[in-house]
Amino acid sequence: MRASITAVGHYIPEKILTNKDLERIVDTSDEWIRTRTGIRERRILDADKGTSYMAVAAAKMVLRQKNISAAEIDLIIVATTTPDMTVPPTAAFVQKELKAVNCWGFDLNGACSGFLFALATGAQFIESGRHRKVLVIGADKMSAIVDYQDRNTCILFGDAAGAVLLEPARNEDLGIRDYILHLDGSGSEYLRIAAGGSLLPTTLETVANKMHYLYQDGKTVFKFAVNGMTEVVAEILENNGLKGGDIKLFIPHQANFRIIDAVAKKVGLRPDQVMLNIEKYGNTTAATIPLAMSEAYQQRLMHTNDWIVMAAFGAGFTWGSLLLRWEMD
Ligand code: COA
């Protein structure tokens, strides 16, 4: 039995932070940000709300689309780097708010690859026959961990959530067909939040040194992201006897337009095969892929039997690709 995506939804906060707004906060320019990253604006969640607020809204869109009640959900997986709290898991807040009274669930931290890792994990429970309805959510409130005095990072990130429902596929051709996932901890020094974990708990000193904010060596991450994503997309196509031309839509993690463009060119994809929305939202970490998928579905860019490839790269390093045949009309 294969696992298939049978509903997809998303949530974006109303507040918009434009490049012009950032020009007033740090030494940067709209032109620099657009040409180096492809980003024009990003969404920012209210300070008094947590990641679960967005996760719940995205999940509700999925339930409405499928016309099912939350009580039918067997399992909730929330991929996030920015949980509401360290304990309990954000999945618990989502369960409570949705009133999903017959499920279990957990958080999964795969950084920017979190949604792909969660999708592959959720699929196991469908494929084994153990569960019939698994909610997989990617949600991040990056504004909570970004230093708005650091121009290297604050221009890149935004807040959002996306969610999908996994169910048994209608037939053996449809649904998740393959995935290739990787983890290489030698990349851990290039993208991290050093303090606030068990290794270096928060102290006045760690806060004064801004160690509770996201640090990134952008140049190094960029190179690894292009190479890693190119390799896994080329590999998954080859393993499944597919060529670039067979793919209806490539839905990549949206971290930098130049990364996506380089990967697409290297694996032989035309611009019209690539889903892009980084311009509007920036990098929303675990939310980029389900958010892009939800918008692609709304724009009717995918139809039953279409081959869809996703790919992501993130802190860890984590990276991977996932191939599926789209089930919905
Ligand atoms: N505005 C203006 N100038 C900036 C700037 C900003 N927001 N941020 C950095 N700069 C400056 C740098 O200080 C540097 O100046 P210098 O040459 O005088 O030292 C110059 O611009 C070039 O910086 P550099 O870091 O080499 O730019 P880049 O072309 O590598 O672009 C990133 C920076 C962050 C956009 C790019 O490296 C990137 O996208 N990396 C990967 C990000 C990513 O994918 N992260 C998440 C993975 S999930």
268-288 residue pLDDT tens: 999 999 999 999 999 999 999
Distance 152 CA to ligand 1 centre (A): 6
Among 36, 142, 145, 157, residue to substitute to test ligand 1 (most atoms within 8 Å of Cβ): 36
253 assigned to active site: yes
SS3 assignment for 178-212: EEEEEECHHHCCCEECCCCCCCCCCCHHHHHCCCC
pLDDT for position 92: 98
Residue 210, judged by CB atoms within 10 A of its CB (0-12, 13-18, 19+), counts as middle
The pLDDT of 70-97, averaged and rounded, is 98
Q: Are 25 and 56 in contact (CB under 8 A)?
A: no
| pLDDT bracket for residue 233 (50, 70, 90) | very high
Its pTM stands at 0.97
Distance 312 CA to ligand 1 centre (A): 19
Q: Is the CB of 219 under 6 A from ligand 1?
A: yes
Distance 162 CA to ligand 1 centre (A): 27
127-177 residue pLDDT tens: 999 999 999 999 999 999 999 999 999 999 999 999 999 999 999 999 999
Instruction: Specify the residue for token string 């657009």.
Output: 34
Selected catalytic residue, list 103, 112, 256, 277: 112
The pLDDT of 196-216, averaged and rounded, is 97
29-66 residue pLDDT tens: 999 999 999 999 999 999 999 999 999 999 999 999 99
CB environment 71-104: b (16+ within 10 A), e (fewer): eebbbbbbbbbbbbeeeebbbbbbbebbebeebe
Selected catalytic residue, list 109, 256, 277, 283: 283
Distance 88 CA to ligand 1 centre (A): 35
Q: Are 154 and 26 in contact (CB under 8 A)?
A: yes
154 assigned to active site: no
